[in-house]
Amino acid sequence: MQDLNSQQSESENEDFIKSEMSDENSNKLNESSSEEAQLQTFLKLKEHGQSSRTKALRLKENDVIVAVDGSSYHESIDKLVDLLSSGEEGDMWLLTVWRNGKFFEIFTRGPLGGIFEFTRPEESQMIMELFQKREMGQKEEYRIFEALRDVKRVVDVYDTTHTQLAVILPPVWLVQQKMWEPLLAILCVYLITFSVNIYLFILAVVLVGLYLRKGQVTLRRSYGLFQDRQVWAIVAARSDKEAQEMCRNLDEKVNFINAVVKPYKKEVPKPRKRNKSGNVLKASQQYT
């Protein structure tokens, strides 16, 4: 009987030890899974690929993709490619990008190309904390803005959204955009055709309107290139002011045409006062 009781107690102790070990293992697994859940990394652009869309979007190396359509994104690049390629053909995806401590948005669709890597844990945590404080609007509120910059860091930011004003009243639209050379050319065409024949004038008005119906963004970009500016950034914003603020975040020293933000003022160092010769004695003469 004693042997049976001792065997039963030993088996109970073994069962108890096994249960404790299983509980410890499960706790460790739960802790590791919770740590993995908290550790949410982002995708960072390591380098551009050949003919990749990252170049066309004016992204730079070390740019971090933080969110898609306002929701933080922590999946792999393969899943991102599938996501950006989904939906209807005309659908665009709003990406939130982190660069040098600042956020900005862009619209895109399809594979980005390039080579990506995951961010470090401490970098991911910092970006996530700042992104949670960022105010995001609805996707439908954002428009695409192009920014053209010259060597003097003067930036021309314009909305690429199609406007009927350019079709109906081209001279008024050109005045708003301050495109003086194209305005002069169109006015000359109107005057010449009107002086020749009224029907020729009407035909010229219709042809100019049809051209600006499809080519207003191309004309706007070409005019910027004509003024020795290059396409510098393509951002998505809800207003002209927000677009200029994003550009200022990318380069704090830029100034804008038709500015709605404060201009950048370069700090000029104060000139040092120079003492006239003979006003101050030499150190060797002061103590003699």
Q: Is the confidence at residue 16, as pLDDT, over 60?
A: no
Give the end of a domain, one of 119, 141, 163.
141
Helix (H, G, I), strand (E, B) or coil at 88: coil
Provide the pLDDT for residue 275: 54
Q: pLDDT (tens digit, 9 = 90+) per residue, 241-253?
A: 999 999 999 999 9
Domain presence at residue 59: yes
Mark whether 252 and 155 lie in a shared domain.
Answer: yes
- Rounded to whole angstroms, the Cα distance separating 259 from 88 reads 36
Q: pLDDT (tens digit, 9 = 90+) per residue, 22-48?
A: 444 444 434 443 344 445 899 999 998
Domain presence at residue 81: yes
Q: What's the token pair of residue 184?
A: 């002069």
Mark whether 122 and 169 lie in a shared domain.
Answer: no
Mark whether 56 and 110 lie in a shared domain.
Answer: yes
Mark whether 97 and 60 lie in a shared domain.
Answer: yes
Mark whether 128 and 152 lie in a shared domain.
Answer: no
Domain presence at residue 202: yes
Full residue range of the structural domain in which residue 72 is found = 43-141
Domain presence at residue 12: no
Give the end of a domain, one of 111, 141, 171.
141
Q: pLDDT (tens digit, 9 = 90+) per residue, 183-233?
A: 999 999 999 999 999 999 999 999 999 999 999 999 999 999 999 999 999
129: left (phi over 0), alpha (psi -120 to 50) or beta: alpha
Rg (CA), the chain: 32
- Rounded to whole angstroms, the Cα distance separating 7 from 107 reads 72
Q: Is the confidence at residue 7, as pLDDT, over 80?
A: no
Domain presence at residue 92: yes
Contact present, 206 and 193 (Cβ < 8 Å)? no
- Rounded to whole angstroms, the Cα distance separating 141 from 204 reads 36
Mark whether 120 and 157 lie in a shared domain.
Answer: no
- Work out whether the CA dihedral 25, 26, 31, 32 comes out positive or negative: positive
User: Comparing 97 with 276, which gets the higher pLDDT?
Assistant: 97
Q: Which residues of 119-147 are buried (b: 16+ CB within 10 A; e: fewer)?
A: beeeebeebbeebeeeebeeeeebbbbbb
State the pairing for strand pair 93-99/115-118: unpaired
Residue 44, strand partner residues = 64, 117
Our count of domains for the chain comes to 2
Mark whether 113 and 162 lie in a shared domain.
Answer: no
Helices H / strands E in the chain, number of each: 10, 10
Provide the pLDDT for residue 159: 93
Contact present, 40 and 124 (Cβ < 8 Å)? yes
Mark whether 63 and 124 lie in a shared domain.
Answer: yes
Provide the pLDDT for residue 37: 40
Phi first, then psi: what are they for 230, rounded to 5°? -120, 150
Mark whether 117 and 62 lie in a shared domain.
Answer: yes
**Structure pTM?**
0.75
Mark whether 164 and 92 lie in a shared domain.
Answer: no
Provide the pLDDT for residue 113: 87
Residue 143, strand partner residues = 237
Domain presence at residue 25: no
Give the end of a domain, one of 141, 166, 182.
141
Domain presence at residue 74: yes
Domain presence at residue 162: yes
Q: pLDDT (tens digit, 9 = 90+) per residue, 77-135?
A: 899 989 998 878 778 999 999 999 999 999 998 889 889 999 999 999 999 999 999 99
Mark whether 123 and 210 lie in a shared domain.
Answer: no
Q: pLDDT (tens digit, 9 = 90+) per residue, 146-167?
A: 999 999 999 999 999 999 999 9
CATH number (domain holding residue 106): 2.30.42.10
Q: What's the token pair of residue 275?
A: 């003492």
Look-up of token digits 């209807």: 88
Helix (H, G, I), strand (E, B) or coil at 269: coil
Look-up of token digits 């939906």: 87
Mark whether 198 and 217 lie in a shared domain.
Answer: yes
Provide the pLDDT for residue 263: 87
CA angle 206, 211, 216 (to 5 degrees): 130
Provide the pLDDT for residue 165: 94
